[in-house]
C-alpha cells in the first residue's frame, strides 16, 4: 500500500539505513526507485536522487531522521513552511512531503547543473553581461521572496545552483534553512548567515530587515566580476571590522576592465546604511541590469584564476566531470559509466549508491543530461 502524505506506516522497521540511519524502505517500493546519494550532512539529513515510478520524473529526496531533529525542529519546520509558500522559476521547489514514524521525506525539484562558481571556472568565455544576467535572475527571485514577506538570510554562491548542465541553464536559489518570514514590524534580530556575505547590521547585532539579502547579492556580484571576495582576513575579528565599516575597494588591476556602471551597481547594494541600500526592485532597474551598460569583454581568464585561488573546491572534481563527459559522449552506455563510478569508490547499500561528493556530482550531471529528455534509471 503506497505511503500517503503525512502517513505513518505500521509494522515496518528502519532496517535499510545506509549512512546515518536514514531509511528509504518506506517509499522505495511504492513510489520511487533510487540511484545516487547526492549529499549527506552528518547526522542530520541525506539527499538522494530518485525516479518517480508513476511519471518517470527525476527528483531529489531529502531524508531527515526525526531523532536528528531534536533541538532542530524549528529549523526544518521553518524550511518547510517557507518552501510550501513559494513558487518561482529560479527557486528550488518543494514538490511533496512524506512522513514515516521515524523519518521525514522532502520531495524536491532536482537541480543538477552544479554550483555557480564551478561553472564559471569551467567556461571559456565570460563577460560582465553574463554576470549581469546571473544577478538579474537572483534579484528577480529574491524580489519575489521579499514580496512574499520572506527573507533568505543566507544568500551565498554555494546556494546558487544551475538547474541543468546545459550552457543556457537558469540559476536556482536553494537552502531555505535560515530563511524567515518577516514579522509585522519587518525587522529581525537573530544573528545568522555566512560571515563573508553577511550585512554590517547583522554583525552589529542590530535589528535588520530584507535589506540583508540585498547586501549579500552585492557581495556575490562583486565576486562574479573579479573572482575574489570584497572582505578577507584570516582573523575573524579583523574580517568583521572590515564588513562593519563596509571597507572594500575596486582594486587595480582586477577592476581596470570593469565598467563604472558595474561598480556603481555594487556600491548601491553594498551600502553600509540599510536605509540607503538599494532594494531588489531598485537594483532591477539599475542600468547595469536593465540597460546596456554591462560590457561584453571576455574577463574569464582573470576571474577564473582568482576563483580557483580563492574558492577552489577541487580541481580533481572538475577533471572528473570533464573526463566522464567525454566517456559518455563516446560510449553512450550509461551502464558502463555507472560501473566506472562504482569502481572509483561508490558503494551500493540497500539499492542506493553512495559516492563521494566529487564522483557523485559527475555522475549526477551525466545521467540527468539525458534524463531531461527521456527517463532512465542506472542499473542497481
Positions marked active-site: 154
Closest CA to 103 of 175, 45, 153: 45
DSSP secondary structure code for residue 186 in this structure: S
Q: Name the helix (H) or strand (E) containing 356.
A: none
Q: What is the DSSP string of 95-141?
A: EEEEE-SSEEEEEEE---S-BHHHHHHH-S--BHHHHHHHHHHHHHH
- What sign does the dihedral 179-107-133-224 (CA atoms) show? positive
Three cell numbers written together for 176: 531555505
Q: Name the helix (H) or strand (E) containing 51.
A: strand 45-52
Residue 334 to residue 8: CA distance in whole angstroms:
36
Q: What is the DSSP string of 80-96?
A: HHHHHH---TTB--EEE
Residue 106 makes CB contacts below 8 A (sequence gap 6+) with 61, 62, 64, 80, 83, 94, 96, 97
Residue 109 to residue 265: CA distance in whole angstroms:
32
DSSP secondary structure code for residue 178 in this structure: T
Closest CA to 297 of 76, 163, 130: 130
Provide the 3-class DSSP secondary structure of residue 283: helix
Three cell numbers written together for 257: 576592465
Which residue's entry shows cell 572538475? 318
β-strand partners of 348:
353
Residue 93 to residue 46: CA distance in whole angstroms:
17
Amino acid at each position: 500500500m503506497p505511503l500517503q502524505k503525512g502517513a505513518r506506516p505500521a509494522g515496518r522497521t528502519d532496517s535499510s539505513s545506509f549512512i546515518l540511519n536514514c531509511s528509504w524502505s518506506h517509499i522505495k517500493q511504492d513510489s520511487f526507485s533510487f540511484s545516487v546519494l547526492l549529499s549527506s550532512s552528518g547526522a542530520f539529513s541525506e539527499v538522494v536522487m530518485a525516479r518517480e515510478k508513476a511519471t518517470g520524473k527525476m527528483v531529489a529526496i531529502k531524508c531527515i531522521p526525526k531523532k536528528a531533529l531534536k533541538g532542530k525542529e524549528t529549523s526544518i519546520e521553518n524550511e518547510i513552511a517557507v518552501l510550501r509558500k513559494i513558487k518561482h522559476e529560479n527557486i528550488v521547489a518543494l514538490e511533496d512531503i512524506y512522513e514515516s514514524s521515524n523519518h521525514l521525506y522532502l520531495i524536491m525539484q532536482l537541480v543538477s547543473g552544479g554550483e555557480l562558481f564551478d561553472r564559471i571556472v569551467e567556461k571559456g568565455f565570460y563577460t560582465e553581461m553574463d554576470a549581469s544576467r546571473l544577478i538579474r535572475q537572483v534579484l528577480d527571485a529574491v524580489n519575489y521572496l521579499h514580496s512574499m514577506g520572506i527573507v533568505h538570510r543566507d544568500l551565498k554562491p554555494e546556494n546558487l545552483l544551475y538547474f541543468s548542465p546545459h550552457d543556457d541553464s537558469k540559476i536556482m536559489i536553494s537552502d531555505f534553512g535560515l530563511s524567515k518570514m518577516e514579522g509585522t514590524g519587518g525587522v529581525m534580530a537573530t544573528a545568522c548567515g555566512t560571515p563573508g556575505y553577511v550585512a554590517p547590521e547583522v554583525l552589529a547585532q542590530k535589528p535588520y530587515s530584507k535589506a540583508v539579502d540585498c547586501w549579500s547579492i552585492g557581495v556575490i556580484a562583486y565576486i562574479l566580476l573579479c573572482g575574489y571576495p570584497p572582505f578577507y582576513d584570516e582573523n575573524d575579528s579583523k574580517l568583521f571590522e572590515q564588513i562593519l565599516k563596509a571597507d572594500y575597494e575596486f582594486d587595480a588591476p582586477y577592476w581596470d576592465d570593469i565598467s563604472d556602471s558595474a561598480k556603481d551597481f555594487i556600491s548601491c547594494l553594498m551600502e553600509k546604511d540599510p536605509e540607503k541600500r538599494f532594494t531588489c526592485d531598485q537594483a532591477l532597474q539599475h542600468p547595469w541590469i536593465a540597460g546596456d551598460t554591462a560590457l561584453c569583454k571576455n574577463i574569464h581568464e582573470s576571474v577564473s584564476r582568482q576563483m580557483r585561488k580563492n574558492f577552489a573546491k577541487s580541481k580533481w572534481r572538475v577533471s572528473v566531470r570533464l573526463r566522464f563527459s567525454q566517456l559518455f559522449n563516446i560510449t553512450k552506455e550509461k551502464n558502463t559509466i555507472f560501473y566506472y563510478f562504482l569502481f572509483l569508490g561508490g558503494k551500493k547499500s540497500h539499492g542506493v549508491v553512495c559516492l563521494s561528493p566529487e564522483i557523485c556530482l559527475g555522475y549526477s550531471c551525466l545521467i540527468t543530461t539525458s534524463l531531461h529528455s527521456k527517463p532512465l534509471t542506472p542499473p542497481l
